[in-house]
Amino acid sequence: MEIDPSSNLGELEEDLVGSEEAALSADIRRSITHIMTSFPGVDEYMSYMEVFRLVRNMDYSTVIFDTAPTGHTLRLLAFPEVMDKSLTKVLAMKNQAAPILNHVLGFLGINNLQTSDLTNALETRLPIVKEITRQFKDPSQTTFVCVCIPEFLSMYETERLVQELTAQEIDVHNVIINQILFPNLLTTGAEGESSHHSCNATATAPTDCRMCLARHRIQSKYLEQILELYEDMHVIQLPQLEDEIRGVESVKAFAKHLLTPYRR
C-alpha cells in the first residue's frame, strides 16, 4: 500500500479535534491542516492508521509491507515505542497541561473544543499502539525478509536494517540476494546462444563482455561478504534475468527460485 498523508488528513483531524472541527472557520481549518502536515512523524502516523485498520478488520490472513530498506521504514519501526512513551507522558500530564492547552486553543479561536476530547482520542489510540507493537515483536506473527543486491550500498543499507530490527526485537532470519551474475550466465552455449535460458546449460566459452566480467568481480566480492555477515540466516540467491518479470506466469516462474535453489 502507498501512504499519502494528505489523502488521510481528514481522519487525522477528526482523531485530534473531533467532529467539532467541522464548525470551525475555513481559516482555522487551514491552519490546523498546515500544522498537522508539517508535524514530524505524520507519515508514520498515517502508516500506523492503515495497520490499525488491517488489525481491526482482519480482512486478510497475511499482510505484506513492501518497503524501502531504510529511511521511512526505520522511522516506522521506531514509531510505536516513541508514540507509546509520548502518549503515556501526555496522558499522565493531562491535568496539568489542560489549562495551557485551553489557552492555546483559545488563542487560535477554538473555544468550543474540550481538552477531554483530545485526551479521549489519545487514550483510545494507546492500547492499539501497544497491540501493534506486541504483534511486531511476535516472531510467530511478524517477520522481515531483507532483499538486497551484491553491491556496497545495498549491503550497507541491509545491515543497517538488520541491526535496527534486532534492536527493536523484531524477527529477521531471511535474506534474499537478487540480480546475481552467476558464472554460467557469463558463458555461451554450444549453439552460440546465451545460457540464461537453462539452469542446466553447459558452459563452453567465456564471455568477451568486459563490463559483465567487471560486474561479476564486484558482485563476487560483496556476495562473499553478505554470506559471511548472515551465515546464521537463511540466504536465498537469485539470478540476474534477461527479461522483466511481468505478468502472473512470469511471477510464478520466478517464485520457484525462492523455494528451490537456483541451479548454476
Q: What value does the CA radius of gyration of the chain take, rounded to a whole number of Å?
A: 25
Q: Which of 46-50, 53-57, 112-116, 180-184 has the lowest mean pLDDT?
A: 112-116
Query: Strand 234-239 vs strand 205-206: parallel, antiparallel, or unpaired?
Result: unpaired
Q: Tell me if 123 sits within 8 A of 90, measured CB to CB.
A: no
Closest CA to 21 of 125, 112, 89, 121: 112
Domains of the chain by start residue, with CATH: 5-136 (no CATH), 144-259 (3.40.50.300)
Residues 6 or more apart whose Cβ sits within 8 Å of residue 77: 136, 164, 165, 168, 170
The Cβ-side half-sphere exposure at 100, using a 13 Å CA radius, reads: 6
Give the C-alpha separation, 12 to 116, whole Å.
Answer: 17
The Cβ-side half-sphere exposure at 54, using a 13 Å CA radius, reads: 15
Q: Residue 215, Cβ neighbours under 10 Å: how many?
A: 17
Instruction: For 154-176, write each residue's pLDDT tens digit.
Output: 999 999 999 989 988 999 999 99
Q: Which runs of consecutive H residues, i.e. helices, occur in 171-209?
A: none
Tell me if the pTM is above 0.85: no
* pLDDT tier for residue 237 given thresholds of 50, 70 and 90: very high
Q: Which of 26-30, 58-62, 234-238 has the lowest mean pLDDT?
A: 26-30
Residue with cell 552455449: 189
Q: Tell me if 136 sits within 8 A of 80, measured CB to CB.
A: yes
